[in-house]
Structure 1
Amino acid sequence: MRTMIDRQEAVVVTGSAGRLGRAVVEHLAAAGVRVVGVDREAAPAPPGVRVHTMPVRDPGALRPVFRGARAVIHLAAMPNPRTGPGHTIYTTNTAATYAVLDAAAEEGVPRVVTASSGSMLGISGGPHDLSPLYAPLDEEHPARPQDGYALSKQADEAACAMFHRATGLSVAALRFPAIGTSGLLRERVLRERAEPGFLRRGLWAYVEVRDLARAFAAAVAADGIGWEVFAVAAGDTLSDVPTEELLRRHHPDTIIRRPLPGHTSVWDTGKAARMLGWRPEFTWREAEPVSA
């Protein structure tokens, strides 16, 4: 069962100037939700959205911003393993997440929704090729991080669980594959066609940024969340080859637990559908035609 977001109580979005942050802010603002942004860099925002320019690593500084908020959507992070040395990414991301959770708990914020990552499963990055243990991938698949970014996301989820146990804070973490805009998705499809298997480590998975923004809004509004992880992804792959054939060819040791007909995604988003009422709406196959 879900409820609507109370439009009178603000939703705070950290990392509001980032690609995903902008999409989330725009989605909430368009729905009439009062939004407050937090980012270390000043950037344009929709009318009526106030943005606090500050680093997201000091819970004491965050508390006045969070006071009275309906929820916090935490997106501020170094967004991938290529943004710096592993130790810098790890310490930056984990410090920010802990600060956000701490400030939210102290201020009595009812819910935090945070960005985790499918990278923590260890398949999409790191020095060694790994295959999924099974498909479709669900929230129970073991984490096997191979880099500082992936490890930071595993640690973030552990911090979320700890704050829920210790304080009762309601926390949802969304795990997702590569974020795409229409143009970027077309580039990936063309690259996979030219170099079959190019996207094998990402399992040919994606989520369109507007669909992901909808998922964060749904996680704010949903009832019955104590501490939960949700897989969020598009319903199809970035390949013209059927999914089961892709797995047999590039991940032959992966156990296929149930049929994946046609171009069905390797990600199982059934939990998000059941608990959040969220389902992906975008597929690149119905967007602008992709051609070489």
Structure 2
Amino acid sequence: MSYAEYSTPHHQTRFSAEFFNTITLADVEGLFQNDILPHVLLRDSVTKWNLDRTVPSAIAEIVVAAGEEIPCYHDLRPIFETPEKAFYNEGMSSLCLQIGKQQIVRYHFSKLRLIVNYNNHEYNLLVAKRLLDRVHDSNLLSPNLIAELKLNRFAEPLAGFKVTETPLYTLGSLLHERWVLEDVLNARAEFLYFRRAVPFQHQDAEPSFLFLPTSFFNDGRTLMNKADALYSAKIIAMRERIRSGGFDSLGFISWTADHYSAICKILSLTSSTATLFNVPLPKISSTFFDGHSLDSGISHRLRAEIDQSWPDRSVGKI
């Protein structure tokens, strides 16, 4: 028997390579809820180690039990290359570790693989669990979509990445990135805009509905604070679009100090709208709209679509 065969865990064993390739997000949630995961010991917990010819037969020497204390990756790293050479040259079949001053444990070489696999995925499991917690707590998805999400494999590649396969669990690393919230809002706004724009393609005309992302007004706010700043290409294009009169409704998102405002119709520029930017109303009118007022209403169909995509249009902290 080769060392690879001897040291490779059965594919159905918990924490084997196949285990991490096949478990779903629902399985990950169950691992935490049922306290199945082991506990990784602190660095330098392994004080001594040696190899032995005894072939382990006890279950505790072959698999990782729920809640078991296991060495960390750093403590195992000096041992990695030794077992294979000793297996062929000296017939060694197990690893004995002294943990702390008194505890002695014996591992089958296949269990050593399991422990290394878990160390490699400990953080990935944690961020996947945090991702699920965030999805549940924030009401980002309906219960049906959450159930569908949980059916996806833990390490399943994200759709849309052609160059590299990015595992699903990596989404959890974005939870503390504040810019992600802005990107999500802008993506939903873009989706709303394109959904409205599709019918106009058949008419060879520009869409009658404009929706501006947060970056538009962030750029505008910066320019307003500079007396001699030139208007950006986006603002110039916006003014020309409004001057053309080829639309009947406009919406935009503003982001100010963690507060997002989604305004989905403008009958006229009012003082409440100006307050959002902390600049005088005439300056907003002259900079973005060149004096043109927006006095058209929104159709019932558009209103329904906006309510569906943006159920809460009031200023709120996210």
Query: Structure 2 length normalisation: TM-score?
Result: 0.23
More helix by percentage: 2
Larger radius of gyration: 2
* Greater RCO (Cα-Cα under 8 Å, separation 6 or more): 1
Query: Structure 1 length normalisation: TM-score?
Result: 0.25
